[in-house]
A and B are shown apart, each in its own frame.
Chain A
Amino acid sequence: MSAKSNPTAVVADDERLMRDQLVAALKDAWPELQIVGEASNGREAIAMVRSLEPDIVFLDIRMPEVDGIQAAQTLAGAAHVVFVTAHDQFAIDAFRQGAIDYLLKPAEPARVALTCQRLRDRLQHKPEPMEDLLSQLASRLGSGSIKPREYMRWVQASVGANLRVIPTSDILFFRAEDKYVRVQTGKLEALIRKPIKELIDELDPEEFWQIHRAVVVRVDAIEQVSRNFRGNHVVHLKGSTEKLEVSRTFNHLFKQM
């Protein structure tokens, strides 16, 4: 496909030993193949493929910053892709069915030879972007941009001068106070700057309910709900003596079942 006399390749793996191993195995199996670049993460790999325009790119699946599958999606047909992995059962299953080639670490000479043979044939054609297959892989491996919506599981909040990471399952409620929002757990009080309005979008609606303009409560922390003299619901919490009034807008949450 190119005017170059010898085929070229870029090898990407975050561990140098693994790159060395693959390069050595490729040299034995396919002496004419020229390794023009070695990348240690997905971002470097993308940059190298774009600047060096190799025929083939070997991509480790697990790499920092941008992983192998994301890199392949970004490169979309710029080079023939071979994935490399030590152990990713989902990926291997997918590769077996699909058109994408893969190598297992440590690379066995016979397996590398087979891949090289296939690559020689594939070099006759233009590389395919394989969008569908890659996005399917990405979703199965939890990589790439199409992730299911994820809610906040931890809150970074200040306790005195320290910044703490508090799991949402420890939190009893959030309450807006002046310019901060107070995070209350059974043991401590912490402060965050994120307003309730933004918070409610990031929290799991199954886990947290807004019961007032200024208050969000964790559903599992509710011990009981009573009514006050104005006829509004009042939420009592497990592990706290504080009582939270439900405003009229949110009263429907507690109507009798």
Chain B
Amino acid sequence: MNPNPGPPVDAAREARASAPPRSGIRQTLHELADTGAVIGWRFFDWLAVVSWKKLLLVSLLMLILAGILKHPLPVLMLILGSFIIKVAAGGKRRADLTASEATKRAETEQLERTVAEARMEALQAQIEPHFLFNTLASIDQLIQTDPQRASDMQKSLIRYLRSAMPQMRDGGRPTLGQQVSLSSAFLEIMAVRMEERLHPAVNVPEGLKSAVFPSMMLQTLVENAIKHGLEPKAEGGRLEISAEIVDGQLAVHVHDDGKGFMPQSAGGVGLANIRERLKAMYKDRAELVISVPERGGTCATIKVPYEVVRDTTA
């Protein structure tokens, strides 16, 4: 296609020409040694991973060939040498190869998992426009009638938005403390709007607030409890966030005494998303359990391995 000689070839030729003059033989020897080393290592790798059966077969073929050429001795030595190398170093070399392959695979998997997790987290973090508009309308009304409460509600909204918007979250691993603070801000807003129809309670021990806890999962449970449990019930009810250590695991509960779980409810998207994310992050070491308390309502529990975030600000 290109009538001119390929520029890379030219460049290579120039580079070689401009290199300090060296005796041609020494350079050729050098190149030969390099190639020999590469071939040697290739052979070594092959020797390490090849099965004994195959090695024996190849040896036999080589012996026959050597017999025809009437020089069996060097071939015999080579075969014997190969056997010794395979016995002595084969195991280690094979282990090395498998290990490096496994690392490569693990790195790719890790990367894929991180990307998938980021995507799911972004999904989970979507702020419902209906919530935002209703809250702003409520603030507007309070400005006329009760400016102090309007100001408080607006502050809660700012606190909520600051931690709920993915692009505003600071890096580092999210803690249970941050997640509880985000959901508390949300509950304060909802309590002003729903009045006596919502009685929120947060019972999370101070000591557990430094524990690592994935972002927006608690918030999804809280929103579900209000949307499917309390809002559909005319008299509303109680919503409690609590946390405890159970058998070395951090268990975070969201408990409401609302309408109870509907078998056909489509609210499963948020929950399915939590399940997927937990699996991606912790494999089998975390779970989401939904149960029906004796006195009705719904209790959703997320269990994750208990791990403390080390204070990086110090």
Contacts and interface: CB of A to CB of B under 8 A. Distances in A.
Interface of A: 14-18, 20-21, 24, 40-41, 43-44, 62, 64-65, 86-88, 105-106, 150-156, 162-167, 169, 202
17 contacts: A15-B193, A18-B134, A18-B137, A43-B234, A62-B130, A62-B231, A64-B234, A65-B234, A87-B130, A88-B130, A105-B133, A153-B263, A154-B262, A154-B290, A164-B291, A165-B292, A165-B298
Contact of B265 (A20, A86, A153): A153
- Classify chain B: how many residues form its interface, as a range: 35 or more
A167 B263 CA distance: 9
Interface string B130-161: 10111011101110110000000000000000
Nearest to B138: A17
A17 B268 contact: no
B5 interface: no
Contacts of A40: 234
A151 B264 CA distance: 6
B291 A165 contact: yes
B272 interface: yes
Interface string B251-270: 00000000001111110100
Main secondary structure, interface of A, reads mixed
Contacts of B130: 62, 86-88
Contacts of B275: 167
Main secondary structure, interface of B, reads helix
B241 interface: no
A155 B263 contact: yes
B265 A106 contact: no
B232 interface: yes
Interface of B: 129-130, 132-134, 136-138, 140-142, 144-145, 192-195, 197, 231-234, 261-266, 268, 271-272, 275, 289-292, 298
B237 to A, nearest CB: 11
B231 A164 contact: no
B184 to A, nearest CB: 20
Q: Which of A20, A150, A156, A165 has the most CB of B within 10 A?
A: A165
A162 B293 CA distance: 8
Contacts of B289: 164
